[in-house]
């Protein structure tokens, strides 16, 4: 259920089509791809919590697994798109890196509401290769996914994609409406970062890709009330869905951590 499945014309809105057009993946270096990809996945994960809360969607199993799936199938493109492919690869690599850091630290939180980082890595890789057996086959094997598991991942992807599509179908704007983007209930806010976060602040706004992806999501789902996606300094490397405030907050400190991971400087 990539966003392009619900896409409206970016050109008609006078915007760049950074998210829906193939894009020049070479325009971003590995650091930028990793940071933007993992930041976008985080936003979509928390937005999945928002959808479940605000639309009263049913969840069977762990909610954290469900919203990981939402974020992954939203990022995985329906059609060849090098930029989108590179971003979801960065997400899979991110969870593998976080798993390695956790192992180095001896931390294995089996009791957590989240799956282990290594499990999240393989779940995303499975959805990737399930969406495109040819395009992601070698990547899946190199990531350590056994060939017998690769063969069953198409079913996992289809179930996740079609499940979210069915849940959201009653909440999609009327495609026949003259302008169903008008009054989009999602606002993206970039709070002033700390002085040492200025460079990352510029990076996550690069090309408008991240912001466009979030705004499109808001335009493609009828929410009962406005939602704010806020990037802020909050002294915590984390992200949250605040139900009472109807706000997704992504901490600049978490984005700092993504950069540290890709530069090989992260510790736990």
At 138-188, the pLDDT tens digits run 999 999 999 999 999 999 999 999 999 999 999 988 744 544 444 458 999
The tokens describing 243, both together, are 């139900």
Tokens for 144, please give them.
Answer: 């350590």
Q: Please name which of 65, 69, 71, 75 lies closest in space to residue 47, comparing C-alpha atoms.
A: 71
Q: What is the pLDDT of residue 53?
A: 96
Q: Is pLDDT of 20 > 90?
A: no
Question: Quick one: pLDDT at residue 219?
Answer: 87
Whole-angstrom distance, CA of residue 226 vs CA of residue 218: 9
Please report the sign of the dihedral spanned by the C-alpha atoms of residue 211, residue 14, residue 202, residue 231.
negative
In angstroms, what CA-CA distances link 57 with 30, 54, 115, 116? 36, 8, 21, 25
Share of the chain above pLDDT 70, in %: 79
Whether 128 and 141 have beta carbons less than 8 Å apart is answered as no
> What is the three-class DSSP state of 52?
helix
Q: Counting beta carbons within 10 angstroms of the beta carbon of residue 112, is it exposed (0 to 12), middle (13 to 18) or buried (19 or more)?
A: exposed
Contacts 24+ apart (CB under 8 A), 117-120: 120/68, 120/95
| pLDDT value at residue 193 | 87
Name which residue leads in pLDDT, 239 or 81: 239
Q: How many CA atoms lie within 13 A of 194 on its CB side?
A: 10
pLDDT of residue 176: 45
For 51, the enclosing helix (H) or strand (E) is: helix 30-55
pLDDT at residue 247 greater than cutoff 60: yes
6 pLDDT above the threshold of 60:
no
pLDDT of 251 above 50: yes
The DSSP H or E segment spanning 120 is helix 117-131
pLDDT band at 101 (very low <50, low <70, confident <90, very high): confident
State whether the Cα torsion 163-184-193-196 is positive or negative: positive
Q: For residue 117, what pLDDT is reported? A: 78
Q: Would you state the pLDDT for residue 4?
A: 37
Give the list of residues 6+ apart from residue 253 with CB closer than 8 angstroms, or none: 233, 234, 235, 236, 237, 238
Report yes or no: 136 and 128 within 8 Å, Cβ to Cβ: yes
């Amino acid at each position: 259920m990539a966003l392009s499945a619900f896409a409206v014309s970016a050109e008609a809105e006078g915007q760049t089509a950074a998210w829906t057009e193939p894009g020049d993946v070479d325009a971003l270096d590995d650091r930028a791809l990793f940071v933007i990809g993992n930041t976008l996945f985080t936003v979509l994960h928390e937005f999945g919590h928002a959808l479940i809360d605000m639309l009263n969607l049913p969840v069977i199993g762990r909610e954290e697994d469900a919203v990981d799936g939402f974020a992954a199938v939203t990022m995985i493109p329906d059609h060849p798109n090098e930029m989108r492919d590179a971003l979801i690869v960065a997400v899979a690599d991110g969870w593998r890196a976080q798993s390695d850091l956790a192992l180095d630290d001896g931390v294995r939180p089996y009791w957590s509401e989240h799956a282990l980082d290594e499990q999240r890595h393989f779940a995303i890789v499975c959805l990737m290769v399930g969406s495109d057996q040819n395009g992601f086959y070698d990547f899946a094997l190199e990531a350590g996914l056994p060939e017998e598991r690769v063969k069953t991942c198409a079913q996992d992807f289809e179930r996740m994609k079609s499940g979210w599509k069915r849940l959201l179908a009653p909440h999609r704007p009327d495609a026949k409406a003259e302008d169903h983007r008008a009054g989009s209930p999602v606002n993206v806010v970039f709070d002033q970062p700390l002085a040492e976060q200025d460079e990352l602040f510029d990076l996550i706004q690069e090309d408008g890709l991240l912001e466009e992806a979030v705004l499109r999501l808001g335009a493609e789902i009828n929410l009962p009330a406005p939602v704010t996606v806020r990037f802020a300094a909050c002294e915590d490397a984390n992200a949250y869905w605040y139900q009472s405030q109807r706000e997704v907050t992504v901490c600049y400190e978490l984005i700092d951590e993504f950069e540290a991971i890709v530069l090989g400087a992260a510790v736990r």
